[in-house]
Amino acid sequence: MKGKLVLENGTIFEGTLLGGMPIVGEVVFNTGMTGYQEILTDPSYADQIITLTYPLVGNYGVTREVDQSSKPYCKAMIVGELCTFPSNWQNEGAFEEYMRMHGIPCLYDVDTRAITRAIRSHGVMKGVICPVDTPQDKIDALLAQPLATDHIMRVTTKWEGHRGSDTAEFHVAVYDFGIKENILQSLENEGCKLTIFPANTKAETVMACKPDGIFLSNGPGDPKDVPEIVEEIKKLVGQKPIFGICMGHQLIARAFGGETYKLRFGHRGSNHPVKDLDTNRVYITSQNHGYAVDEASLEGSGLRVSHRSVNDGTVEGLVHTELPIMSVQYHPEASPGPTDNVYLFERFKELMRRG
């Protein structure tokens, strides 16, 4: 079926459509050369239309063990060339069939780099993916719809969960704002028993499990949309060591009075250089976020910048000058190094050892 992407500024890109129902979402791009299945199943992409800049997608197929959540939460995928005959010793099926199974539309045979240039020029914007003959009034009605703001509560776990060995060195309380499976595995691999809580859990309930540390996960959406979660984080400050990644990083900043803002086109890819200001070493990182912490707003908060983006200078990490609190904007568990960023989990463990 012939299909098209219609951006809210009127730009149209035509291609071949897998799945015919018109959908609307925020159009973003990811520059990674691999990891399309992990990208598709990352809850932080909730309600977004993901454009993959790498031209060939699906060439190594799919395998269940790399899923980052139980299902995809994104609205659609846009790819250049969709490989229908993958080759890999771990392959369990074609990416095309995987998307069909989960009901994720895919527009392919498209110049994804042209779409990326449009987003970089105009900023992220809404877009509609639909059959090529969809009436314009229907497209206009979809573009007029406001985007959702309840992403975190739709992707978070609905009940308390437990993972890891009872003999583990540390017990970590995990706030699930849309956590990736690799983060949970990384914490387990670092000797942590995990108690996983829904995003709207009260601080008193979290502390009742007697954790050694508290982890604030990644997640989708605007951190300004969840002030009630920020209030619970404020209650946890000073009680136990806290480590936040991505959304968790932004919520820590807001809990200390900092501000966040929307980036023009976000950071999404597996090759973003970040400098650790404490060691002056640059790390290659995996990133997926559309918001950043306003550095000027941190004055007097007790937080200092620990990591900075080499590309645009934005805040990529924070530490508190007195309290055992740390955070990073990127994903150390995603293995772009592949193990260069594991030291961050070691730092968190050291904070828990100190108590």
Residues annotated as catalytic (active site), given as ranges: 246, 331, 333
One-letter amino acid for residue 257 of the chain: G
For residue 11, give the nearest of 123, 146, 141 by alpha carbon. 123
Question: How many whole angstroms separate alpha carbon 48 and alpha carbon 25?
Answer: 5
Half-sphere exposure of 323 (CA within 13 A, CB side): 20
Q: To which H or E segment does residue 144 belong?
A: helix 136-144
> Do 214 and 172 touch, CB atoms closer than 8 A?
yes
Question: How many whole angstroms separate alpha carbon 192 and alpha carbon 265?
Answer: 35
Cα–chain center distance at 42? 6
> Do 86 and 61 touch, CB atoms closer than 8 A?
yes
Name the 3-class secondary structure at 286: strand
Residue whose pair of structure tokens reads 């968790």 in the numeric block: 248
The bridge status of strand 2-7 relative to strand 125-131 is antiparallel
Question: How many whole angstroms separate alpha carbon 166 and alpha carbon 105?
Answer: 42
Question: How many whole angstroms separate alpha carbon 135 and alpha carbon 113?
Answer: 27
Neighbours of 67 (CB within 10 A): 18
Strands, E, within the chain: which ranges? Answer: 2-7, 12-18, 23-30, 48-52, 56-57, 76-78, 81-82, 106-108, 125-131, 161-163, 170-176, 192-198, 213-216, 242-245, 260-276, 281-293, 303-309, 315-320, 325-328
Question: How many whole angstroms separate alpha carbon 7 and alpha carbon 119?
Answer: 9
